[in-house]
Protein backbone atom coordinates (compact mmCIF):
# COMPACT_ATOMS: atom_id res chain seq x y z
CA UNK A 1 0.00 0.00 0.00
CA UNK A 2 2.62 2.52 -1.05
CA UNK A 3 -0.32 4.79 -1.90
CA UNK A 4 -1.52 4.96 1.72
CA UNK A 5 -0.28 7.51 4.27
CA UNK A 6 -1.35 7.34 7.91
CA UNK A 7 -0.95 10.50 9.99
CA UNK A 8 -1.01 10.63 13.80
CA UNK A 9 -1.93 13.90 15.57
CA UNK A 10 -0.12 15.69 18.36
CA UNK A 11 -1.01 15.90 22.03
CA UNK A 12 -4.44 17.06 23.10
CA UNK A 13 -5.70 18.78 19.95
CA UNK A 14 -7.18 15.82 18.05
CA UNK A 15 -7.27 15.17 14.32
CA UNK A 16 -8.58 18.55 13.07
CA UNK A 17 -5.15 20.27 12.76
CA UNK A 18 -4.14 17.59 10.24
CA UNK A 19 -7.29 17.73 8.10
CA UNK A 20 -6.25 20.65 5.82
CA UNK A 21 -2.91 18.92 5.19
CA UNK A 22 -4.64 15.64 4.32
CA UNK A 23 -6.96 17.47 1.91
CA UNK A 24 -4.02 19.31 0.31
CA UNK A 25 -2.09 16.04 -0.15
CA UNK A 26 -5.03 14.33 -1.78
CA UNK A 27 -5.51 17.37 -4.01
CA UNK A 28 -1.93 16.95 -5.25
CA UNK A 29 -2.27 13.20 -5.83
CA UNK A 30 -5.69 11.61 -6.26
CA UNK A 31 -4.11 8.16 -5.93
CA UNK A 32 -2.75 8.88 -2.44
CA UNK A 33 -5.05 7.74 0.37
CA UNK A 34 -4.45 9.79 3.52
CA UNK A 35 -5.91 8.62 6.81
CA UNK A 36 -5.67 10.50 10.12
CA UNK A 37 -5.75 8.12 13.08
CA UNK A 38 -6.63 9.55 16.53
CA UNK A 39 -4.12 8.80 19.26
CA UNK A 40 -5.08 5.98 21.63
CA UNK A 41 -7.21 7.20 24.56
CA UNK A 42 -5.14 5.40 27.17
CA UNK A 43 -4.76 6.41 30.80
CA UNK A 44 -1.35 4.75 30.98
CA UNK A 45 1.95 6.18 29.77
CA UNK A 46 3.52 2.83 28.84
CA UNK A 47 4.94 3.14 25.30
CA UNK A 48 4.42 -0.57 24.60
CA UNK A 49 0.69 -0.27 25.25
CA UNK A 50 0.36 2.72 22.91
CA UNK A 51 2.30 0.95 20.16
CA UNK A 52 0.36 -2.29 20.62
CA UNK A 53 -2.91 -0.43 20.10
CA UNK A 54 -1.67 1.47 17.06
CA UNK A 55 -0.08 -1.64 15.54
CA UNK A 56 -3.30 -3.60 15.93
CA UNK A 57 -5.42 -0.78 14.46
CA UNK A 58 -3.38 0.49 11.52
CA UNK A 59 -2.89 -1.37 8.23
CA UNK A 60 0.53 -2.74 7.33
CA UNK A 61 2.70 -1.59 4.42
CA UNK A 62 1.69 2.06 4.60
CA UNK A 63 3.66 5.27 5.06
CA UNK A 64 3.59 6.42 8.68
CA UNK A 65 3.72 10.06 9.73
CA UNK A 66 2.70 12.41 12.45
CA UNK A 67 2.83 15.82 14.09
CA UNK A 68 4.81 16.35 17.30
CA UNK A 69 3.88 13.46 19.68
CA UNK A 70 2.25 11.72 16.71
CA UNK A 71 5.53 11.85 14.82
CA UNK A 72 7.38 10.34 17.77
CA UNK A 73 4.89 7.47 17.95
CA UNK A 74 5.07 7.00 14.17
CA UNK A 75 8.87 6.76 14.49
CA UNK A 76 8.62 4.05 17.14
CA UNK A 77 5.98 2.15 15.16
CA UNK A 78 8.05 2.38 11.96
CA UNK A 79 11.02 0.84 13.78
CA UNK A 80 8.81 -1.92 15.19
CA UNK A 81 7.33 -2.70 11.76
CA UNK A 82 10.56 -2.45 9.78
CA UNK A 83 9.92 -3.62 6.22
CA UNK A 84 6.17 -3.54 6.91
CA UNK A 85 6.42 0.29 6.86
CA UNK A 86 6.95 2.04 3.51
CA UNK A 87 8.56 5.13 5.05
CA UNK A 88 8.34 7.74 7.78
CA UNK A 89 7.65 11.47 7.91
CA UNK A 90 7.46 13.69 10.97
CA UNK A 91 6.33 17.30 11.44
CA UNK A 92 7.70 19.42 14.32
CA UNK A 93 8.62 16.20 16.09
CA UNK A 94 11.69 16.19 18.32
CA UNK A 95 13.40 12.82 19.05
CA UNK A 96 13.29 13.91 22.72
CA UNK A 97 10.65 16.47 23.66
CA UNK A 98 12.22 17.21 27.06
CA UNK A 99 15.88 18.24 27.22
CA UNK A 100 18.49 16.11 28.97
CA UNK A 101 22.28 15.79 28.86
CA UNK A 102 22.21 13.56 25.79
CA UNK A 103 19.78 15.79 23.86
CA UNK A 104 19.83 19.46 24.97
CA UNK A 105 17.93 20.80 21.92
CA UNK A 106 14.50 20.36 23.49
CA UNK A 107 12.12 21.91 26.03
CA UNK A 108 13.84 22.57 29.38
CA UNK A 109 12.77 20.03 32.03
CA UNK A 110 11.63 22.80 34.42
CA UNK A 111 9.32 24.25 31.75
CA UNK A 112 7.86 20.85 31.03
CA UNK A 113 7.36 20.06 34.73
CA UNK A 114 5.41 23.30 35.14
CA UNK A 115 3.30 22.34 32.13
CA UNK A 116 2.64 18.90 33.64
CA UNK A 117 1.64 20.45 36.98
CA UNK A 118 -0.67 22.88 35.17
CA UNK A 119 -2.36 20.02 33.32
CA UNK A 120 -2.89 18.18 36.60
CA UNK A 121 -4.46 21.30 38.14
CA UNK A 122 -6.63 22.31 35.16
CA UNK A 123 -6.24 20.44 31.88
CA UNK A 124 -8.46 22.78 29.85
CA UNK A 125 -6.53 25.91 30.84
CA UNK A 126 -3.30 24.07 29.99
CA UNK A 127 -4.70 23.04 26.62
CA UNK A 128 -5.43 26.70 25.82
CA UNK A 129 -1.91 27.65 26.82
CA UNK A 130 -0.60 24.83 24.61
CA UNK A 131 -2.66 26.17 21.71
CA UNK A 132 -1.11 29.62 22.15
CA UNK A 133 2.40 28.12 22.08
CA UNK A 134 1.55 26.13 18.95
CA UNK A 135 0.25 29.28 17.25
CA UNK A 136 3.37 31.39 17.88
CA UNK A 137 5.39 32.03 14.75
CA UNK A 138 2.29 31.97 12.52
CA UNK A 139 0.98 34.94 10.53
CA UNK A 140 -2.03 35.16 12.87
CA UNK A 141 -0.89 33.41 16.07
CA UNK A 142 -3.99 34.10 18.18
CA UNK A 143 -6.37 33.19 15.38
CA UNK A 144 -4.51 29.95 14.78
CA UNK A 145 -4.48 29.16 18.50
CA UNK A 146 -8.26 29.67 18.70
CA UNK A 147 -8.73 27.39 15.70
CA UNK A 148 -6.57 24.70 17.27
CA UNK A 149 -8.30 24.75 20.65
CA UNK A 150 -11.85 25.06 19.27
CA UNK A 151 -11.37 21.88 17.25
CA UNK A 152 -9.91 19.88 20.13
CA UNK A 153 -11.93 16.87 21.30
CA UNK A 154 -13.06 16.62 24.92
CA UNK A 155 -10.37 14.33 26.30
CA UNK A 156 -10.50 13.18 29.94
CA UNK A 157 -7.77 14.80 32.01
CA UNK A 158 -6.33 11.36 32.85
CA UNK A 159 -5.72 10.63 29.17
CA UNK A 160 -4.19 14.09 28.65
CA UNK A 161 -1.85 13.51 31.60
CA UNK A 162 -0.78 10.08 30.32
CA UNK A 163 -0.02 11.61 26.92
CA UNK A 164 2.19 14.23 28.54
CA UNK A 165 3.94 11.62 30.68
CA UNK A 166 4.59 9.56 27.55
CA UNK A 167 5.92 12.66 25.80
CA UNK A 168 8.36 13.25 28.66
CA UNK A 169 9.86 9.75 28.54
CA UNK A 170 10.01 9.19 24.77
CA UNK A 171 13.43 9.06 23.13
CA UNK A 172 13.07 8.00 19.52
CA UNK A 173 16.74 8.19 18.52
CA UNK A 174 17.29 4.42 18.54
CA UNK A 175 14.06 3.85 16.62
CA UNK A 176 15.04 6.41 13.96
CA UNK A 177 18.46 4.82 13.57
CA UNK A 178 16.97 1.33 13.41
CA UNK A 179 14.38 2.12 10.73
CA UNK A 180 15.95 1.57 7.30
CA UNK A 181 13.16 2.98 5.15
CA UNK A 182 13.03 6.53 3.72
CA UNK A 183 12.56 9.34 6.24
CA UNK A 184 11.53 13.00 6.03
CA UNK A 185 11.61 15.23 9.12
CA UNK A 186 10.32 18.83 8.89
CA UNK A 187 10.96 21.44 11.59
CA UNK A 188 9.95 25.08 12.08
CA UNK A 189 12.34 27.97 12.65
CA UNK A 190 10.05 29.83 15.09
CA UNK A 191 8.77 26.80 17.01
CA UNK A 192 8.18 27.58 20.71
CA UNK A 193 7.94 23.88 21.67
CA UNK A 194 10.63 22.19 19.56
CA UNK A 195 13.83 24.28 19.16
CA UNK A 196 14.93 24.57 15.54
CA UNK A 197 18.41 23.40 16.63
CA UNK A 198 16.88 19.92 16.87
CA UNK A 199 16.91 19.78 13.06
CA UNK A 200 20.70 20.23 13.00
CA UNK A 201 21.18 17.64 15.74
CA UNK A 202 18.93 15.15 13.96
CA UNK A 203 20.90 15.56 10.74
CA UNK A 204 24.10 14.79 12.67
CA UNK A 205 22.43 11.66 14.05
CA UNK A 206 20.96 10.62 10.69
CA UNK A 207 23.08 12.13 7.90
CA UNK A 208 21.39 10.02 5.21
CA UNK A 209 17.78 11.13 5.74
CA UNK A 210 15.85 14.20 4.58
CA UNK A 211 15.66 16.93 7.24
CA UNK A 212 14.05 20.27 6.39
CA UNK A 213 13.60 23.57 8.25
CA UNK A 214 10.76 25.96 7.42
CA UNK A 215 12.28 29.14 8.80
CA UNK A 216 9.34 31.56 9.16
CA UNK A 217 6.92 29.14 10.82
CA UNK A 218 5.84 27.90 14.24
CA UNK A 219 4.87 24.55 15.73
CA UNK A 220 1.54 24.44 13.89
CA UNK A 221 3.05 25.10 10.46
CA UNK A 222 1.10 22.18 8.99
CA UNK A 223 -2.13 24.08 9.69
CA UNK A 224 -0.75 27.54 8.92
CA UNK A 225 0.59 26.46 5.51
CA UNK A 226 -0.93 23.09 4.58
CA UNK A 227 -0.32 23.48 0.83
CA UNK A 228 3.38 24.27 1.27
CA UNK A 229 3.86 21.32 3.63
CA UNK A 230 1.87 19.06 1.31
CA UNK A 231 4.13 20.07 -1.58
CA UNK A 232 7.26 19.12 0.38
CA UNK A 233 5.74 15.78 1.40
CA UNK A 234 4.53 15.04 -2.13
CA UNK A 235 8.00 15.77 -3.56
CA UNK A 236 9.52 13.39 -1.00
CA UNK A 237 7.01 10.61 -1.74
CA UNK A 238 7.50 11.07 -5.47
CA UNK A 239 11.30 10.94 -5.12
CA UNK A 240 11.07 7.75 -3.05
CA UNK A 241 8.72 6.23 -5.61
CA UNK A 242 11.29 6.83 -8.34
CA UNK A 243 14.05 4.94 -6.48
Backbone φ and ψ of 18, nearest 5°: -90, -10
Spot the catalytic one: 75, 162, 185, 191.
191
31 DSSP 8-state letter:
T
Residues whose CB is less than 8 angstroms from the CB of residue 214 and which lie 6 or more positions away in sequence, other chains included? 186, 187, 188, 189, 221, 225, 228, 229
Q: Is 191 a catalytic residue?
A: yes
CB 126 within 8 A of CB 133: no
Q: What is the CA radius of gyration of the chain?
A: 16
Catalytic residue among 75, 93, 185, 219: 219
**Euclidean distance between CA atoms 241 and 219, whole angstroms:** 28
Distance between CA 86 and CA 70 in Å, rounded? 17
68 as an active site residue: the answer is yes
Sign of CA dihedral 54, 90, 44, 128: negative
Phi and psi angles of residue 225, each rounded to the nearest 5 degrees, phi first: -140, 65
Among candidate residues 31, 68, 171, 185, the one labeled active-site is 68
Per-residue b or e along 11-22, where b marks 16 or more CB atoms closer than 10 Å to that residue's CB: bbbbbbbbbbbb
Q: Does 219 participate in catalysis according to the annotation?
A: yes
Of 204, 210, 214, the C-alpha closest to 235 is: 210
Asked if 175 and 76 count as a contact pair (C-beta separation under 8 A), the reply is yes
Active site residues: 68, 191, 219
Amino acid sequence: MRDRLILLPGWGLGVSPLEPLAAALQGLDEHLHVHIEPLPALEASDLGEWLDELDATLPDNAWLGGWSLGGMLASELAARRGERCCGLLTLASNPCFVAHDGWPSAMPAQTFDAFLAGCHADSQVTLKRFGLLCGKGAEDPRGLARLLVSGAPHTPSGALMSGLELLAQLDTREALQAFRGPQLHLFAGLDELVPCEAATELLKLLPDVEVGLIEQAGHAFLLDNPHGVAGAIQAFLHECGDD
